[in-house]
Amino acid sequence: MNWYEKLNQYFPIEEMKSKEHMEILLKERSDIYHKDEGKNHVLMYAELENFIFIDYLFVSKDARGEGLGHKLIEKLKKKGKPIILEVEPVNYEDTDSEKRLRFYKREGFKHAQSIGYERRSLATNEKNKMEILYWAPNEASEENVYEAMVKTYNLIHTYKDKELYGEAYEDVEEVLTLDDNPENNSNIFDKI
């Protein structure tokens, strides 16, 4: 099974980029978009000057519990930059969503409570709400995380979207929001 098939079997269709999209990013954005692949893992990430965005992290069922995910995260942490990623909200009918959140919580990630993220999937045409998690070696503000997500959305998620999918994703202002009063938002880590 190739790297894309592994990701495609693990991640919901509404979260997946097309294989062509990822291959174009790896080729045309090779200065920032990277693939770290091994027998039991696939890590797709973007590394920019002042942050890292984890696009996909897959560890095979055979290797879970052996510390491989931790080693991959540690490798990124050693770069000394904030790390951000998107996760789907906890779905108690899907135990993987809860396990993913527990993993990131153990790795020291925080939930960006002031950032709202909801985009229409070009695969399903449905709106999908995602949560933003981040880890920072020095305290990063959620405003910094928001700015990094805006940059990621514009550089990675929507890269050549019309050409690849026949239509464009929504503008970033429609997808990402920054709430000045985050106390109103629930913390997804409190739910696990």
Q: Please give the C-alpha separations between residue 11 and each of 14, 22, 81, 111, 163, in angstroms, as whole numbers.
A: 8, 14, 26, 20, 23
**Alpha carbons 56 and 152: distance in angstroms, whole number:** 13
Please give the average per-residue pLDDT across 151-155, as a whole number: 97
For residue 190, the model assigns a pLDDT of 56
**Alpha carbons 85 and 99: distance in angstroms, whole number:** 15
**Alpha carbons 172 and 153: distance in angstroms, whole number:** 7
158 secondary structure, DSSP code? T
pLDDT at 89 over 80: no
Domains and CATH numbers, the chain: 3-191 (3.40.630.30)
For residue 8, the model assigns a pLDDT of 92
**Alpha carbons 56 and 99: distance in angstroms, whole number:** 15
Q: Which two tokens stand for residue 77?
A: 């942490």
CA angle 23, 25, 29 (to 5 degrees): 135
Q: Which two tokens stand for residue 94?
A: 């899907």
136 secondary structure, DSSP code? -
> Of how many residues is the chain composed?
192
User: 129: part of which helix (H) or strand (E)?
Assistant: strand 127-135
**Alpha carbons 40 and 3: distance in angstroms, whole number:** 10
For residue 122, the model assigns a pLDDT of 84
pTM: 0.91
Calculate the CA dihedral of residues 1, 86, 101, 108 and round it to 10 degrees. 110
pLDDT at 172 over 90: yes
Please give the average per-residue pLDDT across 117-139, as a whole number: 90
Q: Which two tokens stand for residue 20?
A: 């062509």
